[in-house]
A and B are shown apart, each in its own frame.
Chain A
Amino acid sequence: MYQDVIENPAPKLTAETFGEWFDFCKPKPQTERWIEIAWETELWPARQRAAQEGKPLFLWAMNGHPVGCV
């Protein structure tokens, strides 16, 4: 599957191009609205809070952490 002639090559990584591509790739969660939800990131503390506040639990359960690498 690897090819010596690549139709879609990567840009050159140099001191001059570093900033542009670093900014392109770095995570920008503050620009996404999903972080406005008051997520608990573990199940048991969520269960404890749900008991205290008398509310139903909502679980978003994924293979990988939904707030991290999923």
Chain B
Amino acid sequence: MVRRERTYSDPRIIALLNERFISAAVNINGLQRQNDAEGRFFRLISWQGRFHLSFDDALARMGDTATGECHQGQYVATIDGELLGSRHTADPDELLEILHKALAKWPNRQTQRKETVVGSVDRDARYVWTYPEDGLVLHLGCADLPRQLDNWQHDWQRRAHNQDFVWITRDEMLAMVPEGIQKGDCFSLPEAIHRRLVRYHLLDIVRGETSPWGKETPSDVAIEMQVIDVDVDHVVMTLRGGGRLQEHGKWCSQPPRESVYRLGEMCCLIEERGFETALMGYLEFDRQLEQFKRFDVLAMGVRWGGTTYNVRGNDVAPAPMGIAMTSAQKDPFSRIPPHGTPGSYFQA
């Protein structure tokens, strides 16, 4: 994702944010719609920043959870929601300018909370993710593979890669290693995991997030595990599979950043997306710890087409792509929820 590499890997940005600000990276999918204090606080800021409302007008509008407008952006604000600066840019110089201007406004801010404690928030239950502490969390990487015919257009697209996380609950994880399995046994992935992996994680997210595959698509991909070795302490398995995911639609691609048009105006229509993939994996389960010691899975194949948000408007021809999943670290960044909303993700 270009902003991670270009904007937020700039040493000037890193130093300034760490010294002078409290920085938060947040997902607007929930915040735009959350009917709770956190959502209202976010929208108070974004209505001022992205849509240039006054503080009072934004206060009146912050309860609006039905807005279809996109509230993406970079914002500097006080803890009372007073906007000090805003921009939606990937250019580190432009972001630095916003940060310095915001710091200049800070001493004269209009809102000045005396107490230093902000209480807890009772989050809108529709957007509460519960990290599967005793389950299985995979870190997923997605990248274009080298092309025989070099038809890339821009540098950032050539180097693009993205990531996501796969969440599997403890009960789901244990269902992958049934009691009594023997060396040589072959069996399918449990249906809930199969559907989630296919719909939410065999996606072309190289250049940006995209919507999950339709509810009928999981049957288009077969995934089978085979027990290679088993004893009282561990189970070693391989994973094999493949299939063709294909969907037709009418996706209006995003105009380029430099375009004067907004989404929906003069768009280039994409009518298909697909991913024909093979899958292979190596798994080792520790029966004493009840955890996977190894869970390395690779999906590799040819993708084509795109959707509104994954920036494939100029790159719809079939080309190779890979998706790798491996056990996630235990650091805070590895606790980020998967793309989607909890209800639809776990009931894929």
Residues in chain B near residue A66, CB distance under 8 A: 1, 3-4, 25-27
A56 near B21 (CB under 8 angstroms)? yes
**A34-B17 Cα distance, complex, nearest whole Å:** 11
Interface residues of A in 29-70 (CB under 8 A from B): 29, 32-70
B23 near A40 (CB under 8 angstroms)? yes
Q: Is B260 an interface residue (CB 8 A)?
A: no
B77 near A57 (CB under 8 angstroms)? yes
Q: Digitize A10-42: 1 where CB-to-B-CB distance is under 8 Å, 0 elsewhere.
A: 110111001001101111110011111111111
Q: Is B55 an interface residue (CB 8 A)?
A: no
Given contacts A41-B332, A47-B118, contact A55 B337 (CB under 8 A): no
Q: Is the interface of B mostly helix, strand, loop or mixed?
A: mixed
Residues in chain B near residue A29, CB distance under 8 A: 163, 333
Residues in chain A near residue B145, CB distance under 8 A: 10-11, 21, 24-25
Q: Indicate which residue in A21, A38, A65 contacts B18 across the interface (CB closer than 8 Å).
A: A38
Interface size, B (range): 35 or more
Q: Closest approach, in angstroms, between the C-beta of A63 and any C-beta of chain B?
A: 6
B304 near A51 (CB under 8 angstroms)? no
Q: Closest approach, in angstroms, between the C-beta of A50 and any C-beta of chain B?
A: 4
Q: Indicate which residue in A36, A53, A61 contacts B22 across the interface (CB closer than 8 Å).
A: A53
B24 near A36 (CB under 8 angstroms)? no
Closest residue of A by beta carbon distance from B77: A57
**A70-B302 Cα distance, complex, nearest whole Å:** 22
Q: Is B11 an interface residue (CB 8 A)?
A: yes
B42 near A37 (CB under 8 angstroms)? no
Residues in chain A near residue B321, CB distance under 8 A: 10
Given contacts A27-B141, A70-B162, contact A60 B209 (CB under 8 A): no
Which interface residue of A48, A53, A60 has the most chain B CB atoms within 10 A? A60
Q: Digitize B308-348: 1 where CB-to-A-CB distance is under 8 Å, 0 elsewhere.
A: 01000000111111111010000011011111000000000
**A13-B13 Cα distance, complex, nearest whole Å:** 40
Closest residue of B by beta carbon distance from A10: B320
Which of B67-75, B191-199, B229-237 sits within the interface?
Answer: B67-75
Known: A42-B26, A62-B27. 13 other contacts (CB 8 A): A10-B145, A25-B324, A29-B333, A33-B14, A38-B18, A41-B25, A44-B41, A46-B22, A50-B22, A62-B3, A63-B209, A66-B25, A68-B339
Q: What are 15 sample pairs from A and B whose C-beta atoms fall under 8 A apart?
A: A1-B274, A6-B318, A8-B318, A10-B302, A25-B142, A37-B13, A39-B333, A41-B335, A44-B41, A44-B120, A46-B22, A61-B46, A62-B25, A68-B163, A68-B338
Q: What residues make up the interface of A, taking CB atoms closer than 8 Å to B?
A: 1-3, 6-11, 13-15, 18, 21-22, 24-29, 32-70
